[in-house]
Chains A and B, each alone.
Chain A
């Protein structure tokens, strides 16, 4: 009886030590898999928005991901100017309207291709389609192309910095 309670105590004591150790180890293991600080810090890309031509898709790079920059023509704007949702997806710099999005399909992350004649994006992986504002027009993508955090500085656009305009886009559900 005395022995039993002593063994029971030893069991509980060991369990407590092992439990604390297990939780601590799991925490360390989780943190070791996190992206490194150097990966997180290398996160800003500055674009000179005066260099783009209308209806010509340029793919930039931000945090290793492709960024679509498309300067809209006035005819394109004409077709969407009544659609408030589409207009809100665009970034206005000077007198020009730009689509600036992540170039990754919101379905599973393939890079859609742009067809300047049809003015549509098509993802070859699973057939998803987007319009010139990056809004989705054919499933399976669950939403339009995501817009990266941005800040307008004159003619420059800094990706990775959060502006009020970007925050508003997030709040309105324009982007994720």
Chain B
């Protein structure tokens, strides 16, 4: 039996049992963040806040949503939108956050690529982050099924058909995933389960892993400088706060972090209240109909680039290209052979690689939205090929890079 003394305060009582001071020190006040950073370093906290908003709005939606193919559409579009007080608020927060979370994820990702934050011991941060991207994609897709509108149904049809593997004709696998020959009741209920339980659990676990992966290598800085955190932390604690290259996570860094979050929330709720329409596809306001395909089927904006890599090729080639696009970002730390972990603009050819990649993804996104006709087909095809070529060239470009 461990020894306990009569507590002098509630704080002391908790401290004896839960070591709250030690936890606070390790997680907050003596978790060190470099000073040489900018607002892009706040995207992690922005994502945490967005995820929290998704969770809270989702809990309220869950109380009125009915996962039944006959009632799902009306439970969303009538019950939640018209009957439930502030039901519209939860739905619009949920819809807008689901879209905006991908915008922030992409900014977060490209910040990491630009500053080389996936190298020199930070590989697991990158990999766990990309696993989070996969989990968020699955979460977005499964959630998109739930209103059971026309886009829900046909996106479900098209995406599950991908699992037939083109010429492999694994139709049995597709029917297994759906629990039916076509998306129907079994399909809706299982995607409901995935959306509200299994994938959120996976996301929370991965967020834990993502944070844990940061602990040892620490956050990168604007110059990719290797900081001895023990030395700098000692300097700070000894009183040389100005000379130290680091600051406390809380409250020093957090105060600035939450400032950015504040700006973000103003932008976010501006969208929720005045521009929620961008996150709501008009086609999905028709109930699902298995005998009528919408004129154009396209995914939400954040999937368009990978959709456009699938589209311009013959089916099997397209499927391979699509699979390539899904996994290749994950391998970035191993494809980048350069010894430098500095911002892209000091890395010569890699700077060009970075900006071409970024612009090309925007082009692919635009082409994915346009109908597959004429010049759009050609541009989409060239962009898709360029995307693949860029990744194949990356090890060679970075290998030739000189040490800076």
Which residues on A are within 8 Å of B, measured CB to CB? Answer: 30, 33-36, 39, 59, 61, 63-66, 103, 107-111, 124-127, 139-142, 176
Contacts and interface: CB of A to CB of B under 8 A. Distances in A.
Contacts of A30: 176
Interface of B: 154, 157-158, 161-162, 166-167, 169, 175-182, 184, 186, 190, 290-293, 295-297, 311, 313-316, 318, 371-373, 377
Contacts of B372: 126-127
B284 to A, nearest CB: 16
Contacts of B295: 124
A34 B176 contact: yes
Contacts of B178: 35
A108 B158 contact: yes
A90 B184 CA distance: 30
B54 to A, nearest CB: 26
B158 A110 contact: yes
A110 B293 contact: yes
B158 A109 contact: yes
Given A109-B157, A139-B314, A34 B179 contact: yes
A139 B186 CA distance: 32
Contacts of B190: 33
Contacts of B167: 142
B182 A125 contact: no
14 contacts: A34-B176, A34-B179, A35-B175, A35-B178, A39-B181, A64-B181, A107-B315, A110-B158, A124-B295, A139-B314, A139-B315, A140-B311, A142-B167, A176-B169
B193 to A, nearest CB: 11
Looking at A33, A63, A109, A141, the one whose CB has the most chain B CB atoms below 10 A away is A109
A110 B291 contact: no
Contacts of A64: 180-182, 184, 290
A65 B296 contact: no
Contacts of A109: 157-158, 161
Nearest to A142: B315
Given A35-B175, A64-B184, A109-B157, 17 more contacts: A30-B176, A33-B190, A35-B176, A35-B179, A39-B179, A39-B184, A63-B181, A64-B181, A64-B182, A66-B291, A103-B291, A108-B158, A110-B154, A111-B291, A125-B158, A125-B297, A126-B311
A58 to B, nearest CB: 11
Looking at A61, A64, A126, A127, the one whose CB has the most chain B CB atoms below 10 A away is A126
A65 B291 CA distance: 7
Nearest to A61: B291
Nearest to B317: A140
Contact of A39 (B180, B290, B293, B297): B180
A65 to B, nearest CB: 6
Nearest to A105: B293
Contacts of A33: 176-177, 179, 190
B318 A140 contact: yes
A35 B313 contact: no
A33 to B, nearest CB: 6
B157 to A, nearest CB: 5
A140 B166 CA distance: 11
Contact of A111 (B179, B293, B296): B293
Nearest to A64: B182
